[in-house]
Amino acid sequence: MRDHAVIAGVGFTEATSPRRQELSKNELCRLAVDRALEHAGCDRRDIDVVIIGDIAGFEASSVAARTIAPALGLPPYTTVLPICTGGTTGGHLPNQAAALIRAGFAQRVLCVAPNTFDGPVDLQAVINTNSPMVMEQPLGMGAVHMGAFFPAAYQERYGVTDADFELLATKNRENADHNPFAHVTSALSAEHAARMVSTPLRLGMVCPVSSGAIALVVGAESVVGGQAGHPVARITAAQSISDGYLGGKRRDFSTFEVVEVMARRAYREAQVVDPRSEFDVVELFNPYAPMEFMLMEAFGLCPYGGAPELLRKGVTRYGGDLPVNLSGGIQCTNPGVAGQISPVAHIATQLMGQATARQVEGARRGLAHSTGGTFFQFHTATVLERVDL
Amino acid sequence: MTPDLYVVGSAWRTVGDDTDLQLDELVFECCSAALRDAGVRRHQIGLAITSSLDLYDARSISNALTAPAAAGYLNDELRVEGDASAALLVALAGLAGGAVDFAIVAGIHVPEIGGLAERAVRRLDQHVSSYTFDAHLDRPVGMTSSVTLGLHAAERIDAGQARFEELAAATAAEITRGAARRGTRPAVTAAEVAAAPMAVAPLTELMLPAASAGVGAVVLAAGVSARRCPRPRARIAGWGSATAPATANPGWLADPGAATAVARTRAYAMAGLDHPAEQVGSVELTDLSPALSAEIRSALDLDGLDAPRINRSGGVRANYPGIANGLLRVVETLDNLADDHGGVAVVHAADDLCGLVSSTVNVLVLEGV
- The tens digit of pLDDT for each residue in B213-253 reads 999 999 999 999 999 999 999 999 999 999 999 999 999 99
Scanning A107-212, the segments in alpha helix (DSSP H) are 123-128, 143-158, 162-176, 190-193
Q: Do B259 and A70 touch (CB under 8 A)?
A: no
pTM of the model: 0.97
The whole-angstrom distance between B59's CA and the closest CA on chain A is 6
Instruction: Calculate how close chain A gets to B313, using CA atoms only, in Å.
Output: 28
Q: Is the pLDDT of residue B360 over 70?
A: yes
Percentage with pLDDT > 90 across chain B: 98
Domains and CATH numbers, chain B: 5-113+212-227 (3.40.47.10)
Q: How far is Cα A181 from Cα A178, in angstroms, rounded to an integer?
A: 9
- Estimate to the nearest angstrom the gap between the alpha carbon of A7 and the chain centroid: 15
**C-alpha to C-alpha distances, A60 to A56, A360, B52, B55, B65, nearest whole angstrom:** 8, 40, 18, 11, 22
pLDDT tops 80 at residue B2? no
- Residue B314 confidence (pLDDT): 98
Mean pLDDT score of chain A: 96
In three-state secondary structure terms, B116 is coil
CA angle at residue B201 from B198 to B207, to 5 degrees? 60
Identity of the residue in A76, A105, A129 whose CB atom sits nearest the CB atom of B93: A105
Looking at residue B243, its amino acid is T
* Chain A environment of B48 (Cβ under 8 Å): 242
Residue A140 one-letter amino acid: G
Does the pLDDT at position B1 exceed 80? no
Work out the angle at residue A91's Cα, subtended by the Cα atoms of residues B129 and A57, and round it to the nearest 5 degrees.
30
Could you tell me the pLDDT band of residue B7, with boundaries at 50, 70 and 90? Answer: very high
Give strand pairing partners of B350.
B361
Rg (CA), chain B: 19
State the DSSP code for A75: P
Cβ atoms of A238 and A382 closer than 8 Å:
yes
pLDDT at B351: 96
State phi, psi for B93 to the nearest 5 degrees. Answer: -65, -40
B residues 47-66 closer than 8 Å to A (CB) = 48, 53-55, 59-65
Tell me: cis bond preceding A208? Omega within 30 of 0 counts.
no
**Structure confidence at residue A120 (pLDDT):** 83
**DSSP state string for A301-339:** SS-TT-HHHHHHTTTTSTTSSS-B-TT--TTT---THHH
d(CA A53, CA A360): 29
Look at residue B227 in the predicted model and tell me its pLDDT. 96
If DSSP codes are grouped into helix, strand and coil, which group holds residue A268? helix
Mean pLDDT of B331-346: 97
Q: Looking at chain B, how many residues does it have? A: 369
The DSSP output letter for B95 is H
Contact across the interface for B78 and A92, Cβ inside 8 Å:
yes
- A160: pLDDT strictly greater than 70: yes
List, in order of start, the domains of chain A with CATH numbers: 5-121+209-230 (3.40.47.10), 129-206+233-387 (3.40.47.10)
Residue B168 reports pLDDT greater than 70: yes
What is d(CA A149, CA A201) in angstroms, rounded to the nearest whole number? 10
Under the banding of pLDDT at 50, 70 and 90, the label for residue A87 is confident
- Which pLDDT score, from 0 to 100, does residue A137 have? 86
CA distance to B163, B172, B287, per residue, from B169 (Å): 10, 5, 15
Please check whether residue A251 is in contact with residue A257, taking contact to mean a CB–CB distance below 8 angstroms: yes
